[in-house]
Amino acid sequence: MGKNLSFYKGKTLSGNINKDISFFKDLYKSDSLVRIRKTTIGNSGLDIALIFFDGMASPDFIADHILRSLITATVPEGLSIDPYYIGKNILYSSEISFCDDISDMLSFVSYGDTVLLTDNSKTAIIINTKGWRFRGITEPINERLTQGPREGFDEAALLNVAQIRRRLITPDLCVLSLTAGRRSDTKVFVCYLESLADKKLVETVKERIKEIDIDGILDSNYIAEEIRDNKLNLFRSIGTTERPDTAVASMLEGRVVIICDGSPVILTVPYLMVENFHSGDDYYKDYVFGSLARLLRFFGFLIASFAPALYIALVTFHAGFLPTFSALSILKLRTGVPVSTLTESIVLMVTLELLKEACFRSPKDIGAALSIVGGLVLGEAAVETRTISAPTLIVIALSGLCSALSPKLSRTSFFINIISSVMAGIFGLPGVFTCICITAIYVFSLSSFSVDYTLSLNKVSFQNLKDTLIRTSWKNMINRPSLVKDIRRQKRH
């Protein structure tokens, strides 16, 4: 029966090289990629063994820098050799450590390091020989910018940490290494700036990650689902990004960054409501145009969430509020439609979501064809056959277009859209206004790691609004957000 790393916690080697080799061979008897190389150190005659995984460790580095130095070493006669002597005087490697715990040895070797065993010693030498391949640095598909850096995170967590460190050349940068997943034992790095991040926030993040108790962590979203404040939150309370510049900008405002090995998506906490309307382009263009873009995204979210409900309420219950010409035109175009405005709206919303999902899941060429067929052929055919009315199609299409302005809230706006439309179809405008009020109250009641979700909007002032739904110039953003310890961003004034 297979055993997890926790089973070997506290266990040590026997000190007999042959027994220890047999132990590792028996442990990895079903793994054809484990490599165990036994040899002796130069003229000393001391038996040693190297243990590593093919495909994880670099064979060239092992051959040129480890085996060569061990085999050609010259040891004075009569000198007693132990792992510490080997690490200090024989090995040619920039990073080595010593380990007595078998569970740690297994963790290191599984992550691409090489374990060196020596006869008559229970201490192993851990040598950094990581040589696994990675995808390489490319621009994130989901966060493309017209201006700014083109670099994106990779699936290799160590490279992601390096990209952050390259942009924050300061000893103030802290990187904590944790593991999560009972069987996957996935590396998780928590990064923050010590002088800016709140200590309670850092401790909360560490504790929540340590409390994760599932078999495997294959992506950062596994972690996000486990550590967020409310498991059934309609609005996301943990930020995600694939851009190093965005992650660093978050850290400069006192946030904590969580990097999961195997995922290019980085988590940032806490996450505020206004960040749903932010984009990297806002900071790489003139602040006037950046502010205008943010306002468009905000009003686009409102239109995507409540425009169909307002339309349903006006057409169904309050046609007198519409201009006479518009009311007559809508009535004429709805003639012959067999279902109610509410029904056709719900059907169109669901159809639009199905079309989005089909285009997203299909191969690129097929997805483009699906969008044309769904958007033009089916839409036009439905209107011509009086299955749906043209005004309803226009309103739902406008709602879908506006939801694309804030992709982080697209699913949220869909759910709000459905609920508010049903309320509008039953109660009219009072139902719509009730949904708006409930949504506002719900948003103001949320939190992200004990930080108010609407922190920047709770106290309306010029300072609090400088980087929310609008962005002022860097010259005027003197202070950081109030969630950091050191609120002063600039020394001027």
Using pLDDT thresholds of 50, 70 and 90, give the confidence band for residue 441.
very high
Contact 422, 342 (CB under 8 A): yes
Cis peptide before 270 (omega within 30 of 0): yes
- Residues with Cβ within 8 Å of residue 51, at least 6 apart in sequence: 24, 34, 35, 36, 109, 114, 115, 116, 117
What integer pLDDT is reported at residue 366 of this predicted model? 66
As a whole number, mean pLDDT of residues 246-262 equals 91
What integer pLDDT is reported at residue 426 of this predicted model? 92
Q: What is the model's pTM? A: 0.82
Q: Please say if the pLDDT value at position 2 is more than 60.
A: no
Q: Please say if the pLDDT value at position 312 is more than 80.
A: yes
Contact 37, 70 (CB under 8 A): no
Residue of 262, 267, 96 whose CA lies nearest to 187: 262
Q: Under DSSP, is residue 127 helix (H, G, I), strand (E, B) or coil?
A: strand
What integer pLDDT is reported at residue 69 of this predicted model? 86
User: Where is average pLDDT lowest: 192-201, 229-238, 366-375?
Assistant: 366-375
Mean pLDDT for the chain overall: 84
E-only strand ranges, 337-476: 447-448, 451-452
User: Where is average pLDDT lowest: 1-10, 316-325, 416-425?
Assistant: 1-10
The share of the chain scoring above pLDDT 90, in percent, equals: 23
pLDDT tens digits for range 67-116: 888 888 888 877 778 888 888 888 877 788 899 988 889 888 888 889 99
